[in-house]
A = this chain, B = another copy of it.
Amino acid sequence: MQTTEQIQKQIPLVWGEKVYLELSEGLRIPARKVVLDDGRETLYLYDTSGPEGYPLCEGLPPLRRPWILARGDVEEGPPRVPPPAACRVPSTLMRPKVLRGRGPVTQRFYARQGIITEEMRFVAAREQVDVEVVRQELAAGRALLPANINHPESEPMIIGPRFLVKVNANIGHSPLSSSLEEEVEKMRWACRWGADTVMDLSTGPDIYATRQWILRNAPVPIGTVPIYEAVEKVGGQPEELNFDIYLQTLIQQAEQGVDYVTIHAGVLKDYLPLVRNRRTGIVSRGGSIMAAWCQAHGQENFLYTHFREICQVLREYDVAVSLGDGLRPGCIADANDQAQMAELKTLGQLAQIAWEYDVQVMIEGPGHVPMNLLAENVEKERVWCHEAPFYTLGPLVTDIAAGYDHISSAIGGAMIAWLGAAMLCYVTPKEHLGLPTKEDVKEGLIAHKIAAHAADLAKGHPLALAWDEAMAKARFAFRWEDQFRLCWDPERAKAYHQTALPPGTSKQDDFCSMCGPQFCSMRRSRQIQHN
């Protein structure tokens, strides 16, 4: 097992110093401090990398615990669903007692009561907006702040179209490959490259243990799809599932600290015939499990029929619900079809039920969608789902980019985020082909951070504009080191710049190997302006 220090060494902070700003009283807001122009300019960038210097086997400090306890509305006790007898987790990472709300303890609940929580103050400072905007957006359901009371290690963040566009990274081993340790490292690695949330999609053995390791070391909200674990418990046979097994799984995950769960409650029995003429049927894992269950039993999806009981659980821990699009299109030809749209309408109804219980909600979106059909997705989601934040998987704008699907997805992601989607689920170059490695995670994240940032710019977000402005100035002044510091991957930018220069050329020169000194337009342009 590597320590976080060892992981950090793999990505030296050449691009600036990790600092904590006291922008709001008593709160330490993480930021990446980038000093430019020999100290004449300083930029503070949004930072998701989390606290440094804590060994993975001990976990991160419980930042939010005092805030949660001070609210006086939770009780502490042994978990209602205890951990499996033998699990590969050191005692330092186990929690013999867990917290449970005596009533709703969700950020939505507080927001609607007019209460400003520390979590709200934290995200307001982090996004540099007024805290009242945060409270209002949460109360209206236009944003969510995933913050399970049993995951006090997480640094609060907010998801909604009024805020910076967020990116989720999926990790998780499949039964065919990848170890528990690798997944924990991958999670930290993802945070270092800008993941705003991480979904642990592990299947196979050790699900509980993997999740425990991840949660105790995660500075960002963690999402899961509990049906994966439930179906493991019944030997992988969806028809053997029942609501009780699901509920036990859900409670255990809530008590571990999962911040949001994908629930495929919109895959209704009546929608299954709509899928028959599709090119690629059902491509959501959770969707296909629920479809198989409905078909085997001839009954309605139990996640739908028991949705209110589910919400009763979620509100006691502040687990947000991400309403899964189990019928999302898996190819361009299936985009925006009847099955997809029927489910989306149902997700809107479910969102209203969740809100009745003060559960925080977001809506999952596709998938594979050509550019001309993207806007319809956002518009229908906005109306049918009553402005609940939209969380899309890409979308991929073509089916044929396997090996380069992170680019296909960044195209669709940038556009849909500009149109209003609040969070993008990344896609890696391995999509459709295999499980991503650490390098794939990095490539997928950077592609989608670029997409999200492009959307922030298009929406005129001041923090995004300031970043690009700093880069433009550094570029025109040939401040190469400053340019590297402002990149997603400074090491790569620097290496690209230096390898292309012939020996003897200084990296301080006011040109690069692309044009050479004589044909450098900016160099010439500066001379013109100085005349």
Most B C-beta atoms less than 10 A away, residue of A285, A415, A446, A525 = A525
> In the complex, what residues of B have CB within 8 A of residue A372's CB?
418, 458-460
Q: Which residues of B contact A174 (CB under 8 A)?
A: 513-516, 519
A281 within 8 A of B: yes
CA distance A505 to B174 in the complex (A): 14
Are A404 and B489 CB-contacts (below 8 A) given A236-B518, A287-B521, A430-B514? yes
Q: Is residue A486 contacting chain B, with contact meaning CB distance below 8 A?
A: yes
A219 interface residue per 8 A CB criterion: no
Check A177–B500 contact: CB distance below 8 A. Answer: yes
Is A256 located at the chain interface by the 8 A CB criterion? no
Inter-subunit contact B473/A279 (CB<8 Å):
yes
The segment from A78-86, A131-139, A405-413 that touches chain B is A405-413
Task: State which size class the interface on A falls in.
Answer: 35 or more
Minimum distance in angstroms from A239 CB to a CB of chain B = 11
* A472-B403 contact in complex given A288-B525, A465-B332, C-beta closer than 8 Å: no
| A2 proximal to B (CB < 8 A) | no
Q: How far is A519 from B284 in the complex, measured between Cα atoms in Å?
A: 9
Q: Is the CB of B471 within 8 A of A399?
A: yes
The yes or no answer to A1 lying at the interface (CB within 8 A) is: no
Chain A, 457-499, CB within 8 A of any chain B CB? 457-460, 465, 467-469, 471-473, 475-476, 483-484, 486-489, 492-493, 496-497, 499
Report the Cα distance A93→B451, complex, angstroms. Answer: 46
Whether A407 contacts B408 by the Cβ 8 Å rule is: no
How far is it, in angstroms, between the C-alpha of A457 and the C-alpha of B395 when the chains are bound? Answer: 14
Q: How far is the CB of A295 from chain B (nearest CB, A)?
A: 6
CB of B500 within 8 A of CB of A450, answer no
Asked if A502 CB lies within 8 Å of chain B CBs, one says yes
Q: Is A424 an interface residue when CB atoms closer than 8 A count as contact?
A: no
Q: Which of B430, B468, B473, B492 contacts A398 (CB 8 A)?
A: B468
Number of copies: 2
Whether B528 pairs with A272 at a CB distance below 8 angstroms is yes
Contact A371 B457 (CB under 8 A): yes
Q: Flag A398-433 by CB within 8 Å of B: 1 or 0 each.
A: 111111101110110011001000000000011111
Contact B492 A403, beta carbon cutoff 8 Å:
yes
Residues in B whose Cβ lies below 8 Å from that of A434: 496-497, 499-501, 512-514
Task: Establish whether residues B525 and A281, one from each chain, have CB atoms under 8 Å apart when the complex forms.
Answer: yes
The answer to whether the Cβ of A531 comes within 8 Å of any Cβ in the partner chain is yes
A176-B450 contact given A281-B476, A397-B458, A519-B203, CB 8 Å threshold: no
- Which A432-450 residues have C-beta < 8 A from chain B? 432-435, 446-447, 450
Say whether B514 contacts A458, CB under 8 Å. no
The reply to whether A468 and B288 form a contact with Cβ atoms under 8 Å apart is no
Contact of A65 with B by CB under 8 A: no
> In the complex the two chains form, is A524's CB within 8 Å of B331's CB?
no
A370 at the interface (CB under 8 A from B): yes
Which B residues lie within 8 Å of A410 (CB)? 407, 410-411
Give chain B residues whose Cβ lies under 8 Å from the Cβ of A281: 476, 521-522, 525-526, 528-529
Interface flag for A90 (CB, 8 Å): no
Closest to A475 in B: B280
Determine the distance from Cα of A275 to Cα of B527 in the docked complex, in whole angstroms: 13
What B residues does A140 contact at CB under 8 A?
Answer: none
Report the nearest B residue to A460, measured CB to CB. Answer: B372
Give the residues in chain B near A254, CB-CB below 8 Å.
none
* Any B CB within 8 A of the CB of A180: no
Q: How far is the CA of A332 from the CA of B411 in the complex (A)?
A: 18
Question: Taking the nearest CB of chain B, how far is it from the CB of A301, in angstroms?
Answer: 14
A514 CA to B520 CA in the complex, in Å? Answer: 46
Q: For the complex, is A184 an interface residue (Cβ under 8 Å from B)?
A: no
Contacts of A330 in B (CB 8 A): 472, 475-476, 522
What 3 A-B pairs are tightest by C-beta distance, nearest first?
A434-B500, A281-B525, A331-B472
| CB-defined A-B contacts under 8 Å, sample of 27 | A174-B513, A176-B501, A176-B502, A177-B513, A203-B518, A282-B525, A285-B519, A287-B521, A288-B521, A295-B531, A330-B476, A331-B475, A372-B418, A398-B454, A399-B472, A400-B453, A400-B487, A401-B450, A402-B484, A402-B493, A407-B447, A411-B411, A411-B450, A411-B454, A434-B501, A435-B513, A435-B514
Q: A397-B454, A433-B493 are in contact. List 7 more A-B contacts (CB 8 A).
A: A174-B514, A176-B516, A280-B522, A291-B525, A370-B458, A429-B496, A433-B500
